[in-house]
Amino acid sequence: MEKLTSFFRFTSRERLAILLLCLLLVLFWTLPLFFPEKPPKISMAPSNASQPNESRSNSYAYGDALPASNAPVPGIATPNHNRYSNEVPTRVAHYFPFDPNTISPKQWQELGVRDKTILTIQHYLQKGGRFRKPEDLRKIWGMKPAEADLLIPYVQFPVPIAEGKKEEPVWKAAPLQDSSKLKPHKNWNLTPIDINLADTEAWMKFPGIGEVLAARIVKFRDKMGGFKSVEQVGKTYGIKDSLFQLMKPFLTLNQGGEKKD
């Protein structure tokens, strides 16, 4: 019994060695927690890497934007893509009811549409194309499905568009009459109008204001929820400052008579 007891007795050096051994075991046991295993690298098959650009482009339907030469292959993670991407950041969108056949490029920008897509829409309308239903936005080259889904609920057509009828968009309407050739406002036989209550017919009574521009003033007013000052009328797209100065004496603002929706 005494021999067995002496077997479990250790000197100070032996106890120190056992303590160091236990510390090393704990260290090796917890080491993987501080250095996680690296994920395996994904290698592409040579046949996919050497595939000609022509065969790749054939897999994209007409109307879809082709990927750039340095664009990542779908399904392959590219950590540096976001850092070196050439894609233009999406602008902040402010949505409002609109007619895609008549709004100006600036209004497309307010809706968050990219400049390249706006240019495509302009070419489409200039060649006689027409939007006949909200879903036609999906047919525009470069219009992403997510963008179209956000815009479609706000599309509004004033009247049914007759098949084959061509209508000039507002932003490409005929130029206004030169306001310098208009008669002085003192010779105009007009009655002052309330800018928040006047309809298109009232605006068309001003020389130089046609049906298109009158409708644009009303849309601009409705978009802002009513004019807060007479000067805001002059900010309507297409109204020259010289024309606005002639109109200004006939424009009134009744603070208590703003048009309600």
Domains of the chain, residue spans:
105-172, 179-252
- Across the range 169-193, mean pLDDT stands at 53
The CATH number of 179-252, from 3.40.50.1220, 3.90.1300.10, 1.10.150.320, 3.40.50.10580, is 1.10.150.320
Find the mean pLDDT for residues 174-181. 44
What's the pLDDT band for 93 if we cut at 50, 70, 90?
Answer: confident
Mean pLDDT for the stretch of residues 136-145 = 87
pLDDT at 197: 92
pLDDT band at 195 (very low <50, low <70, confident <90, very high): very high
> Is 0.75 surpassed by the pTM of this model?
no
| pLDDT mean over 206-220 | 89
Share of the chain above pLDDT 90, in %: 11
Residue of 142 and 72 predicted with greater confidence: 142
What's the pLDDT at 196? Answer: 92
Q: Which of 60-74, 84-98, 104-118, 200-214 has the lowest mean pLDDT?
A: 60-74
Query: In the predicted model, is pLDDT for residue 199 greater than 90?
Result: yes
Question: How confident is the model over 142-164, as a mean pLDDT?
Answer: 76
The band of 216, judged by pLDDT with boundaries at 50, 70 and 90, is: very high
Mean pLDDT of 18-31: 88
Per-residue confidence band for 92, with pLDDT thresholds at 50, 70 and 90: confident
Q: Inform me whether the pLDDT recorded for 200 exceeds 70.
A: yes
Residues 102 and 121 sit within 8 Å (Cβ to Cβ): no
pLDDT digits (tens, 9 = 90+) for 46-76: 444 444 444 444 444 444 444 444 444 444 4
Say yes or no to pLDDT of 218 above 90: yes
